[in-house]
Structures are given as structure tokens and as C-alpha cells.
Structure 1
């Protein structure tokens, strides 16, 4: 990795008109609609009074695969998506156009052979009013770039999970076609669709997108703690621990401390933690 070029990279602002079809397609991609007569799900999947599911802020105005630019000298083939977070300042609304601005905020070098943590931030503003709608942060783990240098040696500590028994659980099955459906929201990485390429990448079969798993966990938070009201979700953050295979059931365990909800998600079929150090803040 060329640290100087990564830090000096300029990103163009990206306009994103939010149309009803895209919002409904995103909702279907994270499994909403499995109960098509349930008003709690229909509010995100039917155009009459349509609401935008909050975790959609993660996929709009995305800068794409910028890490593949040869000038940056990033070993992008070994990249992992380590963490994701979003904060809602205003709800997304169908019919509005949003503008995303993107920047690299810090780089933590763990040393040769240990990789680099690259932290990014996206801010979404309403085009007409310039109001800040959401702040989205993500962390890439660049496994092949340790020793390239960084801006700091301190990585933010993960949110701690309470050691007491969980206060609640929510089980949500995923569809066998979930990855094929979710990729239509913009992430066309072939390891989510092509069995041969997935095996080449070290997976038994195509895997579910990490941000799709995040969407399912967000559903669990709304269902368990927010009476399915998206306006009550203020923020959510988590770490990706392991991939999910489409068709598996995601079980999210929760610990509540006031307005703070801690959570961990695992797949029931393999008893493997797939999301860890989760935190949601609710109204």
C-alpha cells in the first residue's frame, strides 16, 4: 500500500436519487416480505406509504471498488470487510436525492505480516436542503499491507458484550436465493453468485454479503426493541466475524442497558458467530 496516495486520494461527491423500486428491492434482499401480509414488513416492500429501511444508508452513494486502483498499491485481493457502523440523523425518504461524500479517516499499521486497518467515512446529505442525514463508517482489513505505515497505532476498541445471560433472542431465516437478490442493490462481487469462484476464494459455496447480514441484524433490532418503527433506531455498529451461507438461520442475542442494545449474531446450523461486538442505540 502507498500510504501517501491513499491519504491524499480525493473522492467525487456521488448523487443518488432514492426511488421506490430500489428501496423495495433492498428490503426484499435482506429478507423482508417473508410474511407478505404483515404490516411491519409491508411498510418497506409496498409503495403505498413506503418507508426506507434504515440500513440502506450503507449501500447508497457508494464509491465502489476504489481500492483496486493500481496507483494505491493495495493488495486488494486479500482485503476483508472488518467493521461497519451507521448513525441516523434524519430518516431516508423516497423521492429525495442524496449526496454522499467520502474520505479515509485513519490508517492503523499492525506491522509486517499483520496487516493494516483502513478506516473510512461517508456522509449523506439531502441534495436540496444540505441537511446531514447519515454518517456511515467502515473498516477494511488489508491483510497483505502490513508494514506500509499508518496515521496512528491506536485502533478504536470494540464495543464490549456483557457477560451476563442474554436478555432476548431473535431468529430470522435467510433464503437460499438471498445473495442473488441482495447483489441487485449494487454489490456484484462474483463470490456471492458463482460457485466456482466462491470455492477458489476458499468458501464451500457462494456466501451472503456482509452488509446483507448486517441488514438482517438490523431487522432483528427493530423487531425486538423498536416495535418495527425505523425512526426509533439511532445508530448501529458491529464487527464481521464469519460469513453466512444463504439459507442459514441468523440468531441474534441481545443485552439491553437503557437505550443501548448490545448484540451478537450466530448461524444456528453451524453455531458460528457471524457478527460480534454489536451495539445499537434506540429512542
Structure 2
């Protein structure tokens, strides 16, 4: 990786108008609709539901994406060995169907772990309402650049991770994913073929196509809404987590919670394999 070129990279502003179809397709992609008789699910997938269509909170992760910029040759990023390490979002104002939003991206920091040890790339996206200019969400992503150690960095130490309590979880929710979940979710913008093609997934080292990390985050956000927010999306203020292992479509994800006032700690496990897939989770909810 060419550190100076990465730090100098400027991202054009991106716009996204949220059509009702966009909102419903994204919600279906993260599994909303498994309770078809429940108004709590219909609010994200039915345009004539009581109270009007709502935008699923985790959709802030996917709109106004800057594209595959890490593949630009002049940056010399070993993008084939890139992994998505962490993700967070903070919602300042709820998204609304029909709204047009503007995304501003920047490279926030780079940590060099040393030659042969990789690097960490920290990105930040600010989403604003095009009409009024108010910030509606802040989204951060951490990429693990396994092939770019020794490139140099801007800071030496990574932010502290959120430690889970040592006590037993206070609650848990299990949510099944569909075998076709990856094929639905990719229609919201992430067309990486390892989520669709068995041959390419095997070439990347997986036994079959894996679920998008952000789709797994969406499934766990469903669990947070159900278990900690009474299915009221406006109560969810922020979510942050670390990706620890991929999920295969069709698996059941168990999310465990530790509720401590407005702060909820959580982790998620693929039930059948007993593998932690999301860890060090922290959410903030309103009463």
C-alpha cells in the first residue's frame, strides 16, 4: 500500500435516494418478514402498513457507497487479502423513504502492524440529508489489510475494543437465516461473487458462498430491536461490533445480550457450528 496516496485519496460526494423498494428489499435481505403477521416486521416491508413504511436502521451501512476504490492500481492495496474487521453506525436522525442522502467519506487513520503482520485501515462516512444538510448518521469501517504490513501509519495504537461482561448474558434471541439470504442481500449493492458463486467461494477458501458481514450485522440488529427496543427503530441510537467469523446462509444466529441501562453489550454465535461470528458488540438504546 502507498500510504501517502491512500491518505491523499479524496472521495467525491455520493447521493442515494431511498425508494420504498430499496428499503423493503434491504429489510428482506437481512431477514425481516419471518413474522409475516406482525406489524413489527411489516413496518419495514409493507408500504401501506399502519404508521407508514420505516427504514431499517442498519441500512445506513450500505447507502452512498464509494465503490471499489481499494482496487485502484496507484494505491497498491493488496485488496485480495482485505478483510472487513469492524463496523459501527450512530444514527442522529432516522432515514426516511423517499429521502435523498449525501455520503462524505474519508480515510481516518492507518495502523501499521509491521512487515508480514498487516495493517488496519479506518474509514468514516458521514451521511447528510440533501434537503436540509443535517447529518443523519456516522458510519465507520475497519479493514484488515493482511498484505500491507510495513506500509507506515498515522497512529500506533488501535482504539480499545468493547469488553463484554464476565457474567452470564441477561437475554438472548435466535434468528434463522434463509439459504438464499446472500442472493437477496447482494441486490442492495454488494455484488462480491463469493456471496453467490460456489466456485469462487471455494477459490477464496470457503466451502460454499458466505453471507455478507454487513448482512450478519443486519440480522443481529434485528435481534437488538426485538430484544432491547420493543421493535421501535427510533430507540436504537448506535451499534458497533467486530467481525470474527463468516456465516453461511441458512445458519441460525444466536445473539446474547448484557443490558446495562442504555448500553447493551452483545455477541453472536452460529448455533450449529458453535462459532462466534460477531464479538465485542456495543449498542446504545433510548428508554
- With normalisation by structure 1, the TM-score equals 1.00
Match for 2:76 among 51, 73, 86?
73
Partner of 2:14: 14
1:86-138 Cα deviation digits (max 9, x unpaired): 00000000111000000000000000011000000000000010000000000
- Where do residues 1-283 of structure 1 align in structure 2 (5 Å cutoff)? 1-48=1-48, 49-283=52-286
- Measured in 2, the distance between the counterparts of 1:31 and 1:88 equals 21
Q: CA RMSD in A?
A: 0.4
Unaligned runs of 5+ in 2: none
3-state SS of 2:4 partner: helix
- With normalisation by structure 2, the TM-score equals 0.98
3-state SS of 2:25 partner: helix
Count of residue correspondences? 283
3-state SS of 1:134 partner: strand
- Measured in 2, the distance between the counterparts of 1:36 and 1:170 equals 18
- Measured in 1, the distance between the counterparts of 2:22 and 2:211 equals 19
- Measured in 2, the distance between the counterparts of 1:267 and 1:70 equals 37
TM superposition shift of 1:35:
1.6
Unaligned runs of 5+ in 1: none
1:166-199 Cα deviation digits (max 9, x unpaired): 0000000000000000000000000000000000
